[in-house]
Amino acid sequence: MDNTSTPDVDSGAVGLSLPPVNRSRKTLLHEQVAAEIRRAIANGEARPGQKIPQVKDLAAELSVNSNTVLRALRILRDEGLVEMGRGRSIRVAGTQEQSAVVTRVRELVEFARRQGYEPDDLISILAAIAK
């Protein structure tokens, strides 16, 4: 998939309505934050080109440390879903479809890990299926 173009760019800031993190869950806090932002992108609540609230604002809203939010945003950046510019600028880069695919792949990887599969096994399976 070509990620060089950003359709329907909207430069306005987005007000994310993220649920509070659940400290009693086994899922790490930064993974919960990343999952909720990923969900917002997949649902179209946050569109390509839109600014995401600053790290300190998200951290305050979610009652977590700023480093937790930064860690979540780095994951999303590595997935191609957000761009982190100089200073405090964070924008949505991924599309709804891309976010949905990333979410499904993450679910599959977690399921496969529980079944005892190693990352190399998954890569081999995916390569065979994608032919």
Q: Looking at the predicted structure, is the pLDDT value of residue 80 above 50?
A: yes
Q: Tell me the pLDDT of the chain averaged across its residues.
A: 87
Report the pLDDT value the prediction gives residue 86, as an integer from 0 to 100: 79
Average pLDDT over residues 87-100: 88
CATH 1.10.10.10 fits 29-130, yes or no: yes
Residues 6+ apart with CB under 8 A from 29: 21, 23, 64, 68
Report the pLDDT value the prediction gives residue 13, as an integer from 0 to 100: 53
List pLDDT tens digits, range 7-47. Answer: 444 445 567 788 889 999 999 999 999 999 999 999 889 99
Average pLDDT over residues 3-7: 42
Report the pLDDT value the prediction gives residue 81, as an integer from 0 to 100: 94
What's the pTM? 0.75
Q: What percent of the chain clears pLDDT 90, i.e. is strictly above it?
A: 63
